[in-house]
Structure 1
Amino acid sequence: MALIRAEDVIESVRAALQHISFYHPVDYIEALAAAYAAEESPAAKDAIAQILANSRLSAEGHRPICQDTGIVVCFAKVGMDVRWEGGMTLQQMVDEGVRRAYRDPDNPLRASVVADPAFARVNTRDNTPAVLHVELVEGGELELVLAAKGGGSENKAKFVMLNPSDSIPDWVERTVPTMGAGWCPPGMLGIGIGGTPEKALLLAKEALMAPIDMAQLKARGPANRIEELRIEIFDRVNALGIGAQGLGGLSTILDVKILDYPTHAASKPVGMIPNCAATRHAHVHLDGSGPAYLPLPDLARWPKVDWAPSPEARRVNLDTLTKAEVASWQPGERLLLTGKMLTGRDAAHKRIADMLARGEPLPVSFAGRVIYYVGPVDPVRDEVVGPAGPTTATRMDKFTKLMLDQGLLAMVGKAERGPEAIAAIRKAGAAYMIAVGGAAYLVARAIRSARVVAFEDLGMEAIYEFEVRDMPVTVAVDARGVSVHQSGPEEWRRRIAERAREMA
């Protein structure tokens, strides 16, 4: 029987969340390195190289892999013989650990959690509360499985009530393309089958906490029907050709994890949740002897991938950019941006729309400018800004025409744009570029200065002006409305299918 101190739980949570903010799980790095070696799509290979290079930089610099440091989810298995010391509930302990982790002065993490979610959406400023799931088990010890899930991947969660005779792989194959690229592939899929609707989604989330072992599974062969299902879904999803960042390629996912639970005879609930390229999770075990700390990974297991901009990349001066120059950009072309750009994301766009509707002047002019969809991490030491990777551009689609009407020339984000936004881009002769999601620390190195120019009260969602030098981006939608997120996967899906036919 263990006596577990509240302070030990708090410190274990704090340390684990700091650890996973800058250290990838080694199993993910090794699987991603194998995908990099096998990748044939130049655009996808470049994106994976940026993720791998960013991972090493983050590990060495102890700074977040991604600017979206996630909402904390905790699966707690509590031994029924555990005794507690400290006068706090488990929720209070976990929340205090989150608070200390996200306010750590040496590596502050971005506070993304908002209260009053249906209305005011006020940032809690310390990323609390965590989402806690508790299970009572035998014994006198405490196991905590912690994850920090970014909004880009969480927003792509899917659920369906299938008929008992319906095919799960068919549903997954149909559904994954509808998820777009906002979840920053290549990652993994967690799938929950059975129980009730909420149980299926909970199983899907918990499944993501397991280590990646698809290569080993394929090498030894499946031992049961669930493992057969994992392999089938893995192969069918990768055959879609979506690829890294949705640019088209061989690796869309690195693994599929499945948990199941008995269900009603008339039901077949299925939940699916992706893990993004950040893939942050940790397992800690407390037995009453003190705080639990994760072992430091061996950075020698990280591949030697030194990313550098393509020599073919076109250099763009943002301070002299014209609509004619934007019109000359080609889909899939790599650019290096230098000069001043504005930032803005969900809350800023909503406030801009409200101000314009009321006839109020905007605090900053967007005429002739480029906007970057980002919510950066606070800087430390000599940084001008913390990790500052792109957020999912699709959420800004409904504001795109409005912003282009203000004279905006181009936008930078991640993932695809929807038909409404593409139509507005084409009509305005503008463009949309992507930076690599999951390479936030690498991208931030291109930012030479940063200052808040509007909406300071929005915190990480304020409008900044960044001065950048050689910031790497790819033209995702050109001035004619051609999208690489459509053409890239189509091309690689065709290539993969042709190769399969030749091997048959």
Structure 2
Amino acid sequence: MTVIRQEDFIASVAGALQYISYYHPVHYITSLAAAYEKEQSHAAKDAMAQILINSRMCAEGHRPICQDTGIVNVFLKVGMDVRFDSELDLQAMCDEGVRRAYLDPDNKLRGSILADPAGARKNTRDNTPSVVNVELVRGNTVDITVAAKGGGSEAKSKFVMLNPSDSVVEWVLKTVPTMGAGWCPPGMLGIGIGGTAEKAMLLAKRSLMDDIDIQQLIARGPKNRAEELRIELYDKVNRLGIGAQGLGGLTTVLDVKVLDSPCHAANLPVAMIPNCAATRHAHFVLDGSGPVYLDPPSLEDWPRLTYDVSKARPVNLNTVTRAEAESWKPGEVLLLSGKLLTGRDAAHKRMTDILNRGEKLPVDFKDRFIYYVGPVDPVREEVVGPAGPTTATRMDKFTRQMLAETGLLGMVGKAERGPTAIEAIREFGAVYLMAVGGAAYLVSKAIRGSKLLAFEDLGMEAIYEFDVENMPVTVAVDSKGTSVHNTGPAEWQQRIAGVPILQ
């Protein structure tokens, strides 16, 4: 009988979580690099370049790929001939591994887990608890897969109970466009079919733990219905023209995974869970011989790219005027320098509560820009840790009041804005700028200073003032209300129609 020691288990989980915080899987990098080379949309190519450059920087600097360092999922296959030498149960051992990884002083990761989710939503500060799934299987080892799932992609998870005669393909093609770009495409789609409602969701999540191999599958041909669905959906989803970051382009998904399970004759459960640009998962096996530490990948697999900003328009945030902002064109790349305010969900909720009471805000937003961000804590010489954008649509319900009552000029975030926010932007002559999701470390290098202004108790959701220099952003909604997330995919869907794009 194999004996697995508590410390070996905890150290291995902690090490794997640190590893995936700064190393993309090589299969993801090679697939994204191939998509970058064939991409014809300038905006999508620009976004993919930032993701690839950011990835190499993180691999070299051992800092998080994304500021959202995820909710930890642990998949355990425990051999029935295994005994644990441990005072802790499996959940507690996993959580101790998470705690150790996320509080590592050399690469501190962001605590994103909130207790009392329908109430006080208080941050647990160490990213625990993790979500643990356990299977008892034959054997004498413990097979472990750890993943750190970003909130932006997890928020786009979908489930439906179709009728047995309904088409899975039709449902997927109808649903993907409703997901917007908050899941940071290009990524993977995990599809779970069959079982029961909870089984389908688990199948979809598990499928995302597999390597990207769609091109190999296309080359050899499908052997079953699940593989046929993978190829069909890969082609048809990419024909939607959504593209990288939802800007329009040839590649929306790098792969589609399908796992299925027998189900009741009256049911057809289908789940879909996307994985984002921060694809983070690792697999290892404990056999009782000690902890397992993963070998670093070769950086030769990462392309050497430079980010060209020669055609970008410089903007001084300290002196920018509404007249200047009105001249910005949809899709134009800007380089922001100067003082940039920050604030996301919790800060916006608190600010609107203050405004509703007729009180004065602690920060003056007139003619200023706010960045929707919750950064990682800094380490060593850093001013701020990785600081990529969060999904802007979550702030849509606050946008009209902020623009009307504070004089806010512009917002910076990730992905699209909804119709209500776009109308408010048009009405008040404001602008919305998009930063690339999945390029958090690259963005942080443009931040030269950081000062806390308000709501310190909110931690990473507090209001800060960043001093930025040449921070790259794209005009996503101009002052007239034109959204590139509407015009880009529509244009590229038309361009792609009838063109072979499988390889």
Superposition TM-score tier, normalisation by shorter sequence:
over 0.9
Distance across 2 between alignment mates of 1:305 and 1:327: 32
SS in 2 for 1:319: coil
Runs of 4+ residues over 4 Å off in structure 1: none
* Structure 1 range deviating more: 270-279 or 80-89: 80-89
Is 1:109 the counterpart of 2:109? The answer is yes
- What is residue 346 of structure 1 aligned with on the other side? 345
Query: 1:308 Cα deviation (Å)?
Result: 2.9
- What is residue 401 of structure 1 aligned with on the other side? 400
- What is residue 389 of structure 1 aligned with on the other side? 388
- What is residue 63 of structure 1 aligned with on the other side? 63
Distance across 1 between alignment mates of 2:5 and 2:352: 50
Is 1:128 the counterpart of 2:136? The answer is no
Query: 1:316 Cα deviation (Å)?
Result: 0.4
Distance across 2 between alignment mates of 1:223 and 1:303: 33
Distance across 1 between alignment mates of 2:308 and 2:17: 30
Is 1:286 the counterpart of 2:302? The answer is no
Q: In the TM superposition, what whole-angstrom CA distance separates every residue of 1:128-149 from its partner, at most 9, and x where no partner exists?
A: 0000111111112111111100
Q: Which runs of 5+ in 2 are unaligned?
A: none
- What is residue 367 of structure 1 aligned with on the other side? 366
- What is residue 47 of structure 1 aligned with on the other side? 47
- What is residue 453 of structure 1 aligned with on the other side? 453
- What is residue 249 of structure 2 aligned with on the other side? 249
Cα RMSD of the aligned pairs, angstroms, is: 1.1
Query: 1:304 Cα deviation (Å)?
Result: 1.8
Distance across 1 between alignment mates of 2:8 and 2:90: 12
- What is residue 95 of structure 1 aligned with on the other side? 95
Normalization by structure 1: what TM-score? Answer: 0.98
- What is residue 143 of structure 1 aligned with on the other side? 143
Query: 1:388 Cα deviation (Å)?
Result: 0.2
Distance across 1 between alignment mates of 2:79 and 2:304: 43
- What is residue 313 of structure 2 aligned with on the other side? 314
Q: In the TM superposition, what whole-angstrom CA distance separates every residue of 1:342-399 from its partner, at most 9, and x where no partner exists?
A: 0000000011111112222211111110000000000011110000000000000000
Distance across 1 between alignment mates of 2:138 and 2:216: 31
- What is residue 466 of structure 1 aligned with on the other side? 466
- What is residue 328 of structure 1 aligned with on the other side? 327
Distance across 2 between alignment mates of 1:88 and 1:290: 18
Distance across 1 between alignment mates of 2:143 and 2:402: 48
- What is residue 75 of structure 1 aligned with on the other side? 75
- What is residue 220 of structure 1 aligned with on the other side? 220
SS in 1 for 2:43: helix
- What is residue 435 of structure 1 aligned with on the other side? 435
Distance across 1 between alignment mates of 2:34 and 2:474: 24
SS in 1 for 2:217: helix
SS in 2 for 1:499: coil
Distance across 1 between alignment mates of 2:338 and 2:498: 44
Normalization by structure 2: what TM-score? Answer: 0.99
Distance across 2 between alignment mates of 1:57 and 1:276: 18
Query: 1:498 Cα deviation (Å)?
Result: 4.5
Q: In the TM superposition, what whole-angstrom CA distance separates every residue of 1:411-436 from its partner, at most 9, and x where no partner exists?
A: 00011000000000000000000000
Distance across 2 between alignment mates of 1:322 and 1:303: 39
Distance across 1 between alignment mates of 2:210 and 2:500: 30
What amino acid does structure 2 have at the position aligned with 1:395? R
Query: 1:199 Cα deviation (Å)?
Result: 0.7
SS in 2 for 1:391: coil
Query: 1:41 Cα deviation (Å)?
Result: 0.2
SS in 1 for 2:425: helix
Is 1:4 the counterpart of 2:16? The answer is no
Distance across 1 between alignment mates of 2:98 and 2:411: 33
Distance across 2 between alignment mates of 1:214 and 1:325: 46
SS in 1 for 2:274: strand
What amino acid does structure 1 have at the position aligned with 2:385? G
Distance across 2 between alignment mates of 1:498 and 1:203: 33
Distance across 2 between alignment mates of 1:288 and 1:388: 39
Distance across 1 between alignment mates of 2:223 and 2:70: 35
SS in 2 for 1:189: strand
What amino acid does structure 1 have at the position aligned with 2:321? T
Query: 1:500 Cα deviation (Å)?
Result: 5.3
Query: 1:22 Cα deviation (Å)?
Result: 0.2
- What is residue 496 of structure 2 aligned with on the other side? 496
1:178-257 equivalences under 5 Å are: 178-257=178-257
Distance across 1 between alignment mates of 2:226 and 2:307: 38
What amino acid does structure 2 have at the position aligned with 1:161? M
Query: 1:284 Cα deviation (Å)?
Result: 1.5
SS in 2 for 1:495: helix
Distance across 2 between alignment mates of 1:475 and 1:415: 11
- What is residue 421 of structure 2 aligned with on the other side? 421
Distance across 1 between alignment mates of 2:86 and 2:201: 33
Distance across 2 between alignment mates of 1:37 and 1:327: 34
Distance across 2 between alignment mates of 1:284 and 1:408: 49
SS in 1 for 2:374: coil
Query: 1:306 Cα deviation (Å)?
Result: 1.9
Q: Which runs of 5+ in 1 are unaligned?
A: none
Distance across 2 between alignment mates of 1:267 and 1:116: 34
SS in 1 for 2:474: strand
SS in 2 for 1:349: helix
SS in 2 for 1:160: strand
Query: 1:219 Cα deviation (Å)?
Result: 1.3
* Structure 1 range deviating more: 44-53 or 213-222: 213-222
Distance across 1 between alignment mates of 2:278 and 2:21: 9
What amino acid does structure 2 have at the position aligned with 1:468? V
Query: 1:86 Cα deviation (Å)?
Result: 2.0
Distance across 2 between alignment mates of 1:222 and 1:368: 57
Query: 1:95 Cα deviation (Å)?
Result: 0.1
Q: In the TM superposition, what whole-angstrom CA distance separates every residue of 1:149-202 from its partner, at most 9, and x where no partner exists?
A: 011000000001111111111111110000000000000000000011111011
- What is residue 267 of structure 1 aligned with on the other side? 267
Distance across 2 between alignment mates of 1:221 and 1:268: 26
Q: In the TM superposition, what whole-angstrom CA distance separates every residue of 1:273-312 from its partner, at most 9, and x where no partner exists?
A: 0000010001121011111111210111111222232x22
What amino acid does structure 1 have at the position aligned with 2:392? A
